[in-house]
Amino acid sequence: MSAQKSSKHVENWPQESREAAELVAEQYGEPDEVTATQLVWHRPGPWKRIVATKVFYDHYFPAPHHDSIESVIDYRVPPEKFSDVAAFDGSVIVERTAGEVSARCHDEQANFLAPNLMHDIVTGARSVEEARAYYAKEFGDYRRKKPTPYMQKLRFAPGEGSTADPDVRVLSDEDLQQAKREGETAG
């Protein structure tokens, strides 16, 4: 996407989110969906989708920056690991029913780093504390122009749509019919 075209989509956005969206557009071209408040790319690179939003969030881990680019993958996080993922980084979002994990940060490199470390936590390769320490190290190394292997690509294969978790039914059809009958007599 040329700078002129990308400016058209985000010209009224705050500088923090506009610059981030323009970086995605430079990498992946014209978005597949455009609204006044977001741009969406479907299947760009290794991602299921990338969403650039007009709204940005202040995020202080590991250093102050703005989050406005969300990169999504298919991935099933076991429910017993949700707390660990949340303790690791509040910008890593787990959608259990959809079977998705996303990372929201300021650029694609950081959005590689967070899911790679989330995967390490889920598989037991790192503790939450180890993952946070490594995140800070690699974040700093990126600015030092040192090697940053976790920021280059996903280091694992995301799921291919088979990661959804619809949960377990606890109400039978009979339970629902009984509740409906009770509601009709009560109301």
Render each residue's pLDDT in the chain as its tens digit; 187 residues: 444 455 689 999 999 999 999 999 999 999 999 999 999 999 999 999 999 999 999 999 999 999 999 999 999 999 999 999 999 999 999 999 999 999 999 999 999 999 999 999 999 999 999 999 999 999 999 999 999 999 999 999 999 878 999 999 999 999 999 999 999 998 7
Outline where the chain has alpha helix (H): 3-10, 15-28, 82-88, 108-123, 128-144, 173-186
Cα–Cα distance between 97 and 169 in angstroms, integer?
13
Let me know: does 115 contact 104? Beta carbons within 8 Å. Answer: no
Q: According to the model, what pLDDT value does residue 7 have? A: 65
Among 120, 173, 129, which Cα is nearest to 149's?
Answer: 120
Q: What is this structure's pTM? A: 0.90
Token look-up 């999504």 returns 72
DSSP 35: -
